[in-house]
């Protein structure tokens, strides 16, 4: 035999502690003959007997006395390592979340969750792609969609609706639009955004959409909102992400029209298996928290 029979290691430790094949078999839920076979494999590998058979049990041979503490320490070290990994896995909550949701909504509120559950550490995995929960070590995610992802449980959190916002400084400089069609005369941030035609149509603006002023093209809602705050134009964003700015008056909601493509923001996690406590804690917290979002 050229390789260590790893299956025999636990059996050896049990027999060495209990000094009895029958008791070891009961502890390991094995037959006595299976225990004897595993010990024989290990003795064949060692090339020497490890136990002396007695009428009422067994005792370790001198070679067995050398091996026993080494195996016991190795098993203890492995057990401790796996316990540490399990405890870390159970205490770190990894959330896959898109950038705008993380920066504009989740980050300002996550301290409240950590105060409620100080035993849980939180790590954001900022990404807009569809992650593989099992292979990438992700516990749950925030996604924009229709809530029908195969294999995932989903809970609706926030509306994916969007509306134009502008700063008081911009409106003072250029005037506040009185009708949705008047927005075509404004500096629209990211005028080629696919959301603009959707918003105008749902606001009742018909015919060709001709923007008369140049605009700045930006990729993320966070930066669109930042440019709107600085007076750089009218931004089309999800108002739920700018609740504080709207309430404080630093951004003005120009019309009570929330357009939508039919998508919303959802908490998602794998539907199979038992839900870890840390995910339950986060699920209950974020659902309650999202219910208190006004916009």
| Span 146-202, pLDDT tens digits | 999 988 999 999 999 999 999 999 999 999 999 999 999 999 999 888 999 999 999
In total, the chain counts a number of residues equal to 295
The pLDDT of residue 38 is above 80:
yes
What pLDDT is attached to residue 259? 95
pLDDT at residue 205 tops 80: yes
Which domain-ending residue is among 73, 89, 105?
Answer: 89
Give the E-state strand segments of 195-261 in sequence order. 235-237, 252-253
Q: Which structural domain, as residue segments, surrounds residue 235?
A: 163-253
Is 67 in the same domain as 199? Answer: no
Q: Do residue 231 and residue 274 come from a single domain?
A: no
- The model's pLDDT over 99-120, given as tens digits with 9 standing for 90+, comes to 889 988 999 999 999 999 998 9
Q: Which H or E run contains 158?
A: strand 152-159
User: Is 135's pLDDT higher than 90?
Assistant: no
Q: Which of 105-109, 204-208, 232-236 has the lowest mean pLDDT?
A: 204-208
Look up residue 95 and give its two tokens. 């959330």
Q: What is the mean pLDDT of the chain?
A: 88
pTM of the entire structure? 0.67
Q: Are residues 149 and 280 in the same domain?
A: yes
Residue 2 in domain: no
Residues 247 and 101 in one domain: no
pLDDT average, residue stretch 241-265:
93
- Write the CB contacts of 43 (distance below 8 Å, at least 6 apart in sequence): 49, 50, 51
**For 248, left (φ over 0), alpha (ψ -120 to 50), or beta?**
alpha
Question: What domain count does the chain have?
Answer: 3
Which residues fall within 8 angstroms of residue 111, CB to CB, at 6 or more apart? none
Backbone φ/ψ region at 259: left (φ over 0), alpha (ψ -120 to 50), beta: beta
Query: 19 with 151, same domain?
Result: no
Whether residue 222 is contained in a domain is answered as: yes
Q: Quick one: which H or E segment has residue 93?
A: strand 92-97
């Amino acid at each position: 035999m050229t390789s260590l029979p790893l299956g025999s290691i636990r059996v050896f430790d049990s027999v060495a502690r209990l000094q009895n094949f029958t008791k070891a078999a009961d502890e390991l839920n094995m037959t006595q003959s299976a225990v004897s076979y595993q010990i024989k494999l290990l003795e064949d590998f060692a090339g020497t007997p490890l136990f002396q058979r007695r009428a009422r049990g067994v005792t370790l041979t001198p070679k067995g006395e050398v091996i026993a503490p080494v195996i016991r320490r190795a098993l203890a070290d492995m057990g401790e390592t796996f316990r540490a990994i399990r405890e870390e896995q159970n205490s770190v909550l990894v959330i896959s979340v898109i950038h705008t949701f993380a920066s504009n909504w989740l980050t300002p509120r996550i301290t409240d969750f950590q105060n409620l559950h100080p035993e849980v550490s939180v790590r954001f995995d900022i990404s807009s792609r569809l992650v593989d929960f099992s292979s990438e070590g992700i516990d749950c995610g925030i996604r924009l969609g229709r809530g029908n992802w195969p294999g995932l449980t989903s809970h609706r959190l926030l509306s994916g609706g969007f509306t134009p916002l502008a700063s008081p400084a911009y409106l003072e400089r250029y005037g506040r639009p009185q009708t949705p069609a008047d927005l075509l005369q404004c500096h629209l941030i990211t005028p080629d955004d696919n959301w603009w035609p959707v918003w105008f149509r749902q606001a009742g603006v018909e015919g060709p959409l001709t923007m008369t002023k140049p605009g700045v093209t930006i990729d993320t809602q966070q930066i669109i909102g930042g440019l709107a705050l600085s007076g750089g134009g009218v931004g089309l964003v999800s108002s739920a992400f700018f609740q504080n700015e709207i309430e404080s008056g630093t951004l003005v909601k120009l019309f009570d029209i929330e357009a939508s493509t039919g998508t919303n923001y959802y908490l998602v996690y794998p539907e199979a298996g038992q839900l870890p406590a840390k995910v339950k804690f986060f699920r209950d917290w974020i659902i309650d928290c999202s219910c208190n979002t006004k916009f």
